[in-house]
Amino acid sequence: MLLVLGLGIFIGLWLGRSTIFDESCRKRELRALQGNPESFDHADQLLNMPNPLASSWGNLGLWSAPELTYPEAAKALARRLAQAAELKAGDSICDLGFGCGDQIRLWFEDFHVRRVSGLNPSSSQNLWAKQLLERTCSDANYELHTADHSALAKSPERWHKILALDCAYHFANWEPFLASAHQHLEPSGLLVLTDLTLGPHTHQGLLSFFLRTLAWMANIPWPHLKSPEAYQKSFEDQGFTVHITDLSTEVFPGIADYLKAFDSRWGRFLRPALRSRYALTAKAAAFAARTGHLRYVLVRAEKQPSP
């Protein structure tokens, strides 16, 4: 967990109200905020400046205006997902990869869903999410499980909606996952997620090699990255009617610019692995924005009755 004292010092430094700590003390406090070295930990709270106690978002964001802060952009992407899913009072939801819990709080507070079952592989994120929801949604009906998307297949539950905000591109065994999602949705239920696909003509020569390397560095299974046509067919083959919206221009340029500015201000204080991760994300987003070889999509897939 993050130390409250460390966060107070960090926020004070950001706001320019503290002059009593030297550079070495600032560096030490910043590193204290960087979580533990899980593949997915709560270090992304650092992106939620100027107040990482108020939010702990960790998605790429929807940057509809240049003046948006990171938490505003990240929340906007969650809202776009919720709107596509038509979240409403009475819905039961399975939320895959819920991060530090901000999105679950949003589902309850703004969309008044009835119940949320969360699956997330990070124990440190889940602990943070549990404490957040206990503080803010104490009467809400939810369960948080430390497990990845593959645990969906073993669940006895069915849901109205299954959501995956900015995490599906890490999913291995894509077709079995879609089959499990179809099985665990109520009739006419919705699977709604954001994901990455390839652009056209990307399975060629050096470009394909470059994208494979990029996927490996970003912990994205290469078989998951499909052409738009193959990606849509993967849903249809499992019994979904699917609508796909390209959000690339609203996602990639904004997060690339933000991460570059963040690195310029705070990068020297980050542990090398975390700084490298943010740098890779910024470069990949800038490459995708410039070339169109990667696309960021919003998917709304409706379960169709079995024949």
The predicted-structure confidence for 170-203, as pLDDT tens digits, reads as follows: 999 999 999 999 999 999 999 999 999 999 877 6
Mean pLDDT, the chain, as a whole number?
A: 87
Phi then psi for 198, rounded to 5 degrees?
-80, 155
Contact 149, 172 (CB under 8 A): no
* C-alpha–C-alpha distance, residues 231 and 14, integer Å: 43
The pLDDT value given to residue 43: 76
Neighbouring-strand partners of residue 191: 162, 301
Residues 70 and 55: their CA atoms lie apart, in Å, by: 10
C-beta separation of 222 from 198 below 8 A = no
| Contact predicate 266/11, CB 8 Å | no
pLDDT score for 269: 85
Residue 34 pLDDT exceeds 60: no
Helix ranges, the chain (H): 4-15, 23-32, 70-85, 102-111, 123-136, 174-183, 205-217, 228-236, 248-266, 272-291
Residue 157 three-state SS: coil
Residue in this structure with the two tokens 């924005």, named with its chain if needed: 289
Q: Dihedral through CA 56, CA 265, CA 295, CA 242, nearest 10?
A: 10
Domain boundaries, the chain: 70-249+292-303
pLDDT reading at 9 higher than 90: no
Q: Is the pLDDT of residue 224 over 80?
A: yes
CB 84 within 8 A of CB 298: yes
Nearest CA among 161, 194, 138 for reference residue 91? 161
Beta-ladder partners of 141: 115
List, in order, residues 6 or more apart from 6 with CB less than 8 Å away: 29, 32, 33
Model pTM above 0.75: yes
Closest residue by Cα to residue 168 from 192, 146, 198: 192
Could you please state the CATH topology (level 3) that the domain comprising 70-249+292-303 is classified under: Rossmann fold (3.40.50)
Task: Give percent of the chain with pLDDT exceeding 90.
Answer: 74
pLDDT at 11 over 50: no
Give residue 307's pLDDT band: very low, low, confident or very high (50, 70, 90).
low
pLDDT tens sequence across 94-138: 999 999 999 999 999 999 999 999 999 999 999 999 999 999 998
CA distance 304 to 307: 9
Rounded to a whole number, what is the distance in angstroms from the first to the last CA of the chain? 49
Two tokens, residue 116: 């949320």
The 10s digit of each residue's pLDDT in 131-142 is: 999 999 989 999
